[in-house]
Amino acid sequence: MRAMFPSVSLRSILFVLVMLAVLPLWGLAFYTNFEQREQGIRELESDIQRWTQFQAVNQQIYLGSARQLLLTLAQASEVVGDDPERCSQYLSGLIEHYLEYWILAAADLQGQAYCSSVPLIRPLKYGRDRWFQQALTTMDFSVSGLKSDPLAGEPTVYIGYPIVDERGAQKGVLLAGLELTRLELWGSDENLPEGSIIALFDRLGTVVAHYPDPEKWVGKALQSTALVTNVLAWGEGLVRDSTFDGRERLFGFQRLRYPVDTELYLVVGMPMDLALARAERTLRRNLAGFFLVAIMALAAAWLSGNRLILRRIRLLLDSLQKLERGDLKTRSGLHRGRDEFSLLASGIDSMAASLEEQSFRLHQAEERYRMLVEQIPAVTYVISVEADRPFLYISPQIDVLLGFTPQEWRADPMLWEARIHPEDREMVLAETRRGLGEHSRIGFNVEYRMIARDGRVVWVLDQTVPEYDAEGRLRNLRGLVLDVTERHTYEERLLTYQEQLRSLATQLGVAEEHERRRIATELHDHVAQKLAISKIKMEGLVSSPLSIEAHEAITQVYELISQAVQDTRSLMNKISSPILHELGLEAALEWLVEEFQRMHGLVCYYEDDGELKPLERDIGALLFQAANELLVNVVKHSGVEECELRVRREGSWIRVTVQDDGVGFDPSRIGRARRMEGGFGLFSIRERMNGIGGRLEIESSPGEGARLSLLAPLRESRGVGETASP
């Protein structure tokens, strides 16, 4: 593009791109119908997954509330007590408020019901039921499959929770029977497309709940169907089937695992013909709107290019250059808004204001500290080694520092030791003995706390110099005591600020990755799609009979579009790797080493232990970006053309290791020099890893190569304090 139009403005380039996109508009609409039909199927899959997750979450919330109810009732004195009649009256009064249950009852350890919310016309025994034994074994909430109500013969599902008496011993199980006719499948109304199905199965493939027509399907065993076979085999996923009425549907299914791992499976199905109907509606809508959108896009690209893009870019660049030169009072001058340029300008202005404020505060703090240092009283003293009169001299500033007069210090030989903070006393005495034992004439320093007369805790720096006579015998100790309390206060605040900055750095990294992914998605969904379609249309024009001049021009345009497609894909991969988000970290790292070999000639041997490594999306993105920076470091600094990249699972941690046999480096220099220009830097990577609860391990020395490992917690272990680190 630059070779053809060396001096074309950005606005004109945008205009040309829009023209290239809209020329084959009508043919594009019909050609993309096929793609839209495929997209319709993908959208149907997405809708089903969303509905399945929504239904599963709501059913699990329902089971969670049931668990909470049973937990509360299991602790009630009426249930824990030994009076069955009182227990039955208590449960009878409660069940009127919970219409979703047909019975509330308590059974002993053998499964014999001894109290119930409904009259027991026959004995109720649950001791052999799997759900009953599970509640006793796990001491937690349990859920049965489809059962038969022994009193009325209606289908039901039991839920149970263990009963523990006042001594902590198991007494039995509190149970509730679900009234399946009142079991609500959230969303099973006009929100679902026509012909949709929602159902619950137990582990035997029996229908527990069904929408629509629950009376027709509840209680039926469908274990031999392809739908139930896949549901029971996989527990979660998608499958096509026509079990219910012969109409082919796409089903999403998921096992209910909260608040405990149940034996119930949720199934949501939608007719396959919905996908094609959506595609046809989309085609008609696109044909009607393409022309108007094209005209509006051309007008916006030509008229608004300078105001909305170029002028703002110039202002932002000018502001950044001034900030780089040290002018902290500069501002971008852009009006506030919600678009990306305004948000970026607001961020630059806020950064400049923050830097200016910090610079001013730093200057003030320096001035205050200088004045404070000039005015802080220093206590000088001379101590004799004789025990009866230790203080030969102590300056009057001691009265201001600790509230004791020099006379009091000289009169009481044990006052100094008595005023040392109890937690520091042994340390101070040991350091003093050690310093005197070395017979050094240079002296020694001890920093510790003392308790003033008014109870204040004062941090002091005690600088002591031994004084010896001509025979080398210790005679006196001369020293200087400085009040360093305020320095300790600032150090504690600094540690707090460092933790806050580490957290902010982690949040900024996550926000950056989200923005990268959003931009890459926009490029893929809009620019890349349009360029790809334009390329296909140009292939048709190249093969059509045209004049030589027209054929050459169209060929050039086709080659430019092909190059633009390749550049766009490369740009999307650089901004945010789709492999990372679609296939996971291991696949993305394997692609990364291949990309480094292709682009830099770096032969990197990739190894994965094959273990499952579930990661939070943000942690996976950070590990990928950090691994990329480490490989760049190998290319730039190691001096070798081979390396190794290994991925391992170590308990509840993931370890990503990059190793080379290059020149190596001194790990102690991290934080004092940047080793990766334009990258995170090893120090920044370490801080970001610490911010997510992980760490960076470095093994290297000059001339011995380098081994750097990134360790991060896996998804199930984050926030669990007792998880052991590898």
Asked if the structure places residue 257 within a domain, the reply is no
Query: Does residue 623 contact residue 710 with C-beta atoms inside 8 Å?
Result: yes
Q: Is 207 left (phi over 0), alpha (psi -120 to 50) or beta?
A: beta
Asked if the structure places residue 119 within a domain, the reply is yes
Asked if the structure places residue 678 within a domain, the reply is yes
What is the side-by-side strand order in the sheet with 653-660?
Answer: 603-608, 642-650, 653-660, 706-713, 695-700
Collapsing DSSP states into helix, strand and coil, what is residue 270?
A: strand
Please compute, for residue 286, the number of CA atoms within 13 A of its CA located in the half-sphere on the CB side: 17
Residues 133 and 166 in one domain: yes
Spatial CB neighbours of 648, under 8 Å, sequence gap ≥ 6:
609, 611, 654, 655, 657
DSSP code for 339? S
pTM > 0.85: yes or no: no
Query: Does residue 160 contact residue 70 with C-beta atoms inside 8 Å?
Result: yes
* Residue carrying the six token digits 């894909």: 569
CA angle 551, 555, 556 (to 5 degrees): 120
Q: Is 710 left (phi over 0), alpha (psi -120 to 50) or beta?
A: beta
pLDDT digits (tens, 9 = 90+) for 651-687: 999 999 999 998 988 887 765 544 444 334 787 788 7
Quick one: pLDDT at residue 381? 77
Asked if the structure places residue 320 within a domain, the reply is yes
Collapsing DSSP states into helix, strand and coil, what is residue 477?
A: strand
Residues 117 and 169 in one domain: yes
Which strand (E) or helix (H) includes residue 480?
strand 474-483
Residues 417 and 328 in one domain: no
The candidate with the shortest Cα–Cα distance to 152, out of 193, 102, 190, is: 102
User: And the tokens for 703?
Assistant: 């001339």
* Residue carrying the six token digits 């998880």: 723
User: Angle, nearest 10°, between helix axes 617-633 and 585-600?
Assistant: 20
Quick one: pLDDT at residue 721? 40
Quick one: pLDDT at residue 44? 77
User: Angle, nearest 10°, between helix axes 485-522 and 548-575?
Assistant: 150
d(CA 146, CA 123): 20
Burial of 5 (0-12, 13-18, 19+ CB in 10 A): exposed
Collapsing DSSP states into helix, strand and coil, what is residue 590?
A: helix
Pairing of β 706-713 and β 695-700:
antiparallel
Ranges of the chain whose pLDDT falls below 50: 1-5, 186-188, 369-370, 372-374, 673-680, 717-725
The letter for the amino acid at 144 is: S
User: And the tokens for 111?
Assistant: 């499964």
- The phi, psi pair for 231, rounded to 5°, reads -60, -45
Query: Does residue 329 contact residue 359 with C-beta atoms inside 8 Å?
Result: no
Which strand (E) or helix (H) includes residue 199?
strand 197-201
Residues 361 and 393 in one domain: no
Residues 367 and 478 in one domain: no
The candidate with the shortest Cα–Cα distance to 198, out of 207, 187, 186, 211, is: 211
Query: Does residue 334 contact residue 313 with C-beta atoms inside 8 Å?
Result: no
Asked if the structure places residue 158 within a domain, the reply is yes
User: And the tokens for 495?
Assistant: 């540690």
User: And the tokens for 617?
Assistant: 């999306």
Residues 332 and 400 in one domain: no
User: And the tokens for 179?
Assistant: 């009234």
d(CA 111, CA 124): 8
Using alpha carbons, list the distances in angstroms from residue 708 to 460, 567, 634.
42, 32, 11
Collapsing DSSP states into helix, strand and coil, what is residue 164?
A: strand
Which strand (E) or helix (H) includes residue 708?
strand 706-713
- Hey, CA dihedral for 108, 111, 114, 118, is it positive or negative? positive
Asked if the structure places residue 81 within a domain, the reply is yes
Quick one: pLDDT at residue 142? 85
Q: How many domains does the chain have?
A: 4
User: And the tokens for 32?
Assistant: 């993309």
Residues 98 and 168 in one domain: yes
Which residues, listed in sequence order, are joined to residue 380 by a DSSP beta bridge?
480
Residue 707 maps to which CATH number?
Answer: 3.30.565.10
- Hey, CA dihedral for 19, 23, 29, 31, is it positive or negative? negative
Asked if the structure places residue 451 within a domain, the reply is yes
- The phi, psi pair for 354, rounded to 5°, reads -65, -40
> Looking at the chain, how many residues does it have?
726
Quick one: pLDDT at residue 658? 94
* Residue carrying the six token digits 């080493």: 593
Look at residues 483, 508, 543 and tell me which one is the last residue of a structural domain. 483
Quick one: pLDDT at residue 713? 93
Number of Cβ within 10 Å of residue 362's Cβ equals 10
Look at residues 357, 374, 391 and tell me which one is the last residue of a structural domain. 374
Residues 590 and 723 in one domain: yes
What is the side-by-side strand order in the sheet with 170-178?
Answer: 113-116, 101-108, 170-178, 155-164, 142-148
Spatial CB neighbours of 445, under 8 Å, sequence gap ≥ 6:
461, 462, 463, 464
The candidate with the shortest Cα–Cα distance to 685, out of 702, 667, 701, 703, is: 667
Residue 427 maps to which CATH number?
Answer: 3.30.450.20
d(CA 601, CA 187): 55
Beta strands in 292-399 (DSSP E): 379-384, 391-394
Collapsing DSSP states into helix, strand and coil, what is residue 402?
A: helix
Query: Does residue 255 contact residue 235 with C-beta atoms inside 8 Å?
Result: yes
Residues 349 and 452 in one domain: no
Instruction: Identify the domain containing residue 645 by its residue range.
Output: 577-726
Residues 586 and 687 in one domain: yes
d(CA 404, CA 382): 16
Residues 387 and 367 in one domain: no
Which residues, listed in sequence order, are joined to residue 197 by a DSSP beta bridge?
269
Task: Print burial letters for 632-649: b (CB count within 10 Å at least 16), e (below 16).
Answer: bbbbebbeeeebbbbbbb
d(CA 304, CA 622): 37
Which strand (E) or helix (H) includes residue 58?
helix 25-74
Collapsing DSSP states into helix, strand and coil, what is residue 694?
A: coil
Query: Could you write out the DSSP letters of every residue in 664-680?
Result: ---GGGBTTB-SSTTS-
CA angle 570, 575, 576 (to 5 degrees): 100
User: And the tokens for 266?
Assistant: 């949720």
d(CA 321, CA 325): 6
Look at residues 157, 182, 207 and tell me which one is the last residue of a structural domain. 182
Residue 324 maps to which CATH number?
Answer: 1.10.8.500
Number of Cβ within 10 Å of residue 481's Cβ equals 23
Beta strands in 44-189 (DSSP E): 101-108, 113-116, 142-148, 155-164, 170-178
Which strand (E) or helix (H) includes residue 136?
helix 130-138
Asked if the structure places residue 94 within a domain, the reply is yes
CA angle 76, 82, 85 (to 5 degrees): 85
Residues 479 and 419 in one domain: yes
Which strand (E) or helix (H) includes residue 172?
strand 170-178
- Number of helices followed by number of strands (H, E) in the chain: 22, 20
User: And the tokens for 217?
Assistant: 């399907």
User: And the tokens for 295?
Assistant: 């005209």
Quick one: pLDDT at residue 693? 85
